[in-house]
């Protein structure tokens, strides 16, 4: 979907500011067609609220912040392991935009931590400043709470207090948070991670000419060693790994491509073509509460590509997905991966499974359908 210019005629005089990690400005300025998956309803909201703008963290620009801030956040990162990168965000221009805003929308935990002290300070001056943060893995930090330092737990609890609304992209993490933090549960809402099904569309559903088993991903919850073992155990299959992760001793049946969403080494349209030439999308994962692999799985399903994924406690919505009906779950190790992939060649129900998967995504993870729930949340916050 191309980035649409704002054409709303009923201007609501409200300043809404998104704070993104890297990758958005480059796409907007490219004039290319791209999916809106990782814009988190920005474009749709801009149609309702004309004064919707965004700023973006920038790792390539050094010394945006005073040297003291750079030093302090390095110390905090080392002590807590939390992603504080305010130096990539702080500038006079950005601070002015934040101060003028009525509502801030922060699009992941890294952005949240990097904005935490700024927002904390701003709220002392501007008490009506509201905030929404999208959550995907933040509560992993509480799983071993007793092992955390006092300082880390203090920051985590301050994080919970400072932000007004937490939008969970995975249902399991949402349920964990409600159960374990009832005092803050009024701030929690579940809106599934949503993709641009109009972009991720494959008119050719015939898988007979597709060559590869596809893996896409970079995050720390991907199990790269297990991935290598899967490829090594299936020498007759062709694998394509799209990742920045470094591998050693890969078998000859694996082709690798460097790629990450932020840097766009491979364009969204090129990724779409990779899906179209693949007969299976695999997502081996480490155990985590974070709904890892969600975007790749949903994009694959929207493209009528079957998905095989490790079933972790963070899987985003077990109520909507059923093994061998619209997805393939792996609950054990390498032997199950290998046997299940081998069995797919004899499976006559692949077309039915991909049809079911596509319907599940279209009905429940469609960015245009799920926008209404987000818009209601924004409206309610702005009335407070």
Considering only CA atoms, which of 68, 305, 308 is closest in space to residue 200?
305
In this predicted model, what pLDDT tens digit does every residue of 122-144 receive, in sequence order? 988 888 999 999 999 999 999 88
Over residues 304-329, the mean pLDDT reads 94
For the chain, domains (ranges, CATH) are 16-194+366-383 (3.40.50), 212-364 (3.40.50.2000)
Q: pTM higher than 0.85 for the full model? A: yes
**Does the pLDDT value for residue 366 go beyond 80?**
yes
Min mean pLDDT across 10-14, 250-254, 307-311 is at: 10-14
Give per-residue pLDDT as tens, 163-181.
999 999 999 999 999 999 9
pLDDT at 371: 96
Mean pLDDT for the stretch of residues 13-35: 86
Dump pLDDT digits (tens) for 77-96. Answer: 999 999 999 988 888 899 99
Residue 8 has pLDDT above 90, yes or no: no
Q: Beta partners for 256?
A: 241
Residue 207's pLDDT is 60
Question: Residue 216: enclosing H or E segment and its boundaries?
Answer: strand 212-216
pLDDT score at 346: 75
The torsion defined by the Cα of 206, 212, 217 and 220, in degrees rounded to 10, comes to 130
Residue that wins the pLDDT comparison between 65 and 9? 65
> How many Å apart are CA 158 and CA 117, to the nearest integer?
10
pLDDT at residue 30, rounded to an integer: 80
Would you state the torsion angle of the CA atoms of residues 198, 16, 48, 301, taken in this order, to the nearest 10 degrees?
A: 20
312 token code pair = 């972790």
Residue 9 pLDDT more than 60?
no
User: Please, which pLDDT band fits residue 23 given cuts at 50, 70 and 90?
Assistant: confident
Q: Enter the tokens of residue 356.
A: 């079911």
Residue 61 has a pLDDT of 61
For the segment 7-33, the average pLDDT, to the nearest whole number, is 75
Average pLDDT over residues 353-370: 96
User: Whole-angstrom distance between the N-terminal and C-terminal Cα of the chain?
Assistant: 33
């Amino acid at each position: 979907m191309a980035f649409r210019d704002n054409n709303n005629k009923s201007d609501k005089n409200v300043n809404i500011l998104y704070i993104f990690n890297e990758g958005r400005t480059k796409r907007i300025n490219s004039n290319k067609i791209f999916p809106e998956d990782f814009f988190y309803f920005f474009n749709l909201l801009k149609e309702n609220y004309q004064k919707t703008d965004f700023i973006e963290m920038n790792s390539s620009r050094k010394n945006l912040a005073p040297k003291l801030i750079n030093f302090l956040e390095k110390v905090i990162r080392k002590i807590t392991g939390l992603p504080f990168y305010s130096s990539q965000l702080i500038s006079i221009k950005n601070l002015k935009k934040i101060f003028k805003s009525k509502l801030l929308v922060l699009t992941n935990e890294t952005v949240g931590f990097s904005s935490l002290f700024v927002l904390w300070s701003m709220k002392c001056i501007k008490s009506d400043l509201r905030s929404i943060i999208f959550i995907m893995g933040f509560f992993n930090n509480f799983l071993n709470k007793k092992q955390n330092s006092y300082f880390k737990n203090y920051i985590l609890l301050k994080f919970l207090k400072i932000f007004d609304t937490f939008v969970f992209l995975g249902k399991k993490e949402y349920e964990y948070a409600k159960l374990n933090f009832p005092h803050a549960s009024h701030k929690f809402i579940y809106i599934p991670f949503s993709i641009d099904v109009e972009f991720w569309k494959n008119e050719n559903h015939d898988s007979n000419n597709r060559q590869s088993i596809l893996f896409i991903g970079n995050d720390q919850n991907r199990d790269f060693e297990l991935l290598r073992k899967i490829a090594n155990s299936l020498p007759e299959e062709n694998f394509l790994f799209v990742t920045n992760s470094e591998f050693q001793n890969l078998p000859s049946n694996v082709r690798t491509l460097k790629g990450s969403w932020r840097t766009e080494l491979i364009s969204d349209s090129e990724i779409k073509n990779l899906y179209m030439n693949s007969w299976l999308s695999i997502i081996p994962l480490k155990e985590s509460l974070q709904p890892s692999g969600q975007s790749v799985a949903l994009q694959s399903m929207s493209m009528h590509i079957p998905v095989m994924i490790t079933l972790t406690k963070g899987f985003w919505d077990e109520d909507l997905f059923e093994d061998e009906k619209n997805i393939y779950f792996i609950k054990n190790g390498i032997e199950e991966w290998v046997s299940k992939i081998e069995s797919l060649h004899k499976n006559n129900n692949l077309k039915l499974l991909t049809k079911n998967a596509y319907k599940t995504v279209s009905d429940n993870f469609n960015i245009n359908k799920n926008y209404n729930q987000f818009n209601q949340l924004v409206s309610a916050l702005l009335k407070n």
